[in-house]
Chains A and B, each alone.
Chain A
């Protein structure tokens, strides 16, 4: 009599730790995963097709909603692509560039915080997750004061940003924790002196946490490149590739920061450390922007743009370093007010393909750890 040796389990679409609506099918031999396949598409919102019917400006709010945890980088990708399509016609003022870069790096801290927090939550550490939530709320309060939206900002405009920074939001370099949700300097100082060390001691250095993360989900550099991964997943495997350094866009050439790298055969813990270190580097960039913005208190924040946005005929592929990896968009313009085609390259979709590669041979609990370490947002996977 033949006996079924493997158990097929179905994680999701309703499961506490699939970071959205993702379905993971896994075959188990006892507790060990022998086969795994992610099934996506539960959050498809037709973003690319919808964009063809909208004007260029109207697409910007939709880009917010792809990766909703790091909305500003997505906006930047699309807006900068359109600006590049115009060529010399649109010049983005320097002040707007600084505001953009500062907010993007601020958003990166925010996005990594929630990514790491959710990763810790998947491993059963609930309190660190709520600390991350607490600190992220402070960041959201700041972003809300600047942009008007708490999570979905619609702040970028083609040619600049929607409004200047509110008075007093920058603060002074001496601002401490009590001003963490009032001024950006306050938060950055609070982050450097309190949040990061606390995370480091509470989670990163925790031995149970290290047992769970080390030697789990090992990804070689070759595989990382072959699978088209990017961002912290690629750098966690020791590949030195950061678009902010390698193909600088906006004003990243002027910024001083380091690119943290993991080991050659990066495991979940390497990716974790890369993200931790990236938050520090982001706070460095924010500080440089804040210094510039303190010196230059006023200035244009919106460049001269045509009244109706009609880019010349042509196509463009523009990629930037989003919080989760390489965000890119491909726009074909036929000279009208609506884009002919918009294609969105989302890092999370690419990274999700790593799941069948990384999980076999590990335990059920490691599926969740690996999923947390590649840090996906399902809104971006399905678009």
Chain B
């Protein structure tokens, strides 16, 4: 970003100043992007729930209800802030904004296209784990500050749930990290580029993928794990006492979080911005025909040659960026839809069942996944020197290429 600013004629400024300007621009972009995604996801949620329940959902406010979030936000913005007696006011007021901050910070490291990362941190995965901690703080602050027993119960549940599932969540990602050997998200996305649709880590890491989906739902406080705000038990859980725009910020947090986690899932397991475009399909076909390098033959060779010839157009030119962004958004919203689909189908679990699921089922499974990934990865790397045999082929088909 700094180089880009220098190249457009701002090189008379010092690098420090340019860094600040770049940071400001990036921050604004992330905020705008988050809010846009909030609008889409919120209306989508209401529409999806309506479709599943044979309704039409929001319909009156413009474009068949697809801009419903604007009147909603406006209404909440002009509403009165109701403050109960004896609240811990600083906590009560700051809490929603801390949650909002943590939701937006996820977008810092999400690679939205080739080079399209705000901060391509080397410790991306660890950053995610750190950021999630913020949300626990926000929920606990709001529940503690509200002077309400329901809020307190919701906050306790939320804190216990999110801390438990954070462990599982990180463990489920470790498998992917082992596949790549890097914590950087852009590296992880790049590692999935080579084999098109079949190169996604969703295949070799299918266990980790499943665990990630469940754990991220729990981390997001979404049904069937929405215990912190279980509306039939705790009225609204930790945000029972909130009203007006402070409540709206909680809603913003929820949906930005949802889209953020979906984006990370898309990057980690579905190849991020690498879509099965024309080039990927052709090269994938060629790879499939030659058994992923196991049985080189002339037809596959011809196809691979052709794919190499068009590689420049599809992987370097401007088309690359547009297609990448489109694929990234599509994959993200696939997960968003999945979360909504699950939310509107399944009932809520109980707190002890949630803990059982987290500690007794998902954590052992994710540890098993790490173990099995380690073995297969070791075999895939070390066995390529041996002659091709059926075991090696199976491992390759499972997605563990030696690269």
Contacts and interface: CB of A to CB of B under 8 A. Distances in A.
A/B: CB atoms within 8 Å of each other: yes
Contacts of B350: 211-212, 363, 365-366
Which of B52, B345, B346, B350: most chain A CB closer than 10 A?
A: B350
A50 interface: no
Interface string B184-215: 00000000000000000000000000000000
B312 to A, nearest CB: 49
Contacts of B226: 124
B231 A16 contact: yes
A367 B353 CA distance: 16
Contacts of A211: 349-350, 353
Contacts of A9: 149-150, 153
Interface of B is mostly: loop
B230 A365 contact: yes
Contacts of A120: 347
B223 interface: yes
Contacts of B344: 126-127
Contacts, number: 85
Nearest to B350: A365
A363 B53 contact: no
B235 A15 contact: yes
A126 B149 contact: no
B76 to A, nearest CB: 20
Contacts of B80: none
B269 to A, nearest CB: 24
Contacts of A206: 346-347
B149 A125 contact: no
Nearest to A129: B53
Nearest to B349: A208
Contacts of A259: none
A349 to B, nearest CB: 23
Contact of B232 (A10, A28, A122, A202): A122
A293 interface: no
Contacts of B223: 124
A125 B350 CA distance: 13
B224 interface: yes
A123 B347 contact: yes
B54 interface: yes
A165 interface: no
Given A9-B149, A212-B353, 16 more contacts: A9-B150, A9-B153, A17-B232, A31-B157, A120-B347, A124-B224, A125-B345, A127-B49, A130-B55, A131-B53, A202-B345, A208-B347, A212-B347, A365-B230, A365-B351, A368-B233
21 contacts: A9-B153, A15-B235, A17-B233, A120-B347, A121-B232, A123-B348, A124-B226, A124-B231, A125-B346, A125-B348, A127-B52, A127-B344, A134-B53, A203-B347, A206-B347, A211-B350, A212-B353, A363-B350, A363-B352, A364-B153, A365-B350
Q: Which 4 residue pairs spanning A and B have beta carbons closest together?
A: A124-B348, A125-B347, A130-B53, A123-B347
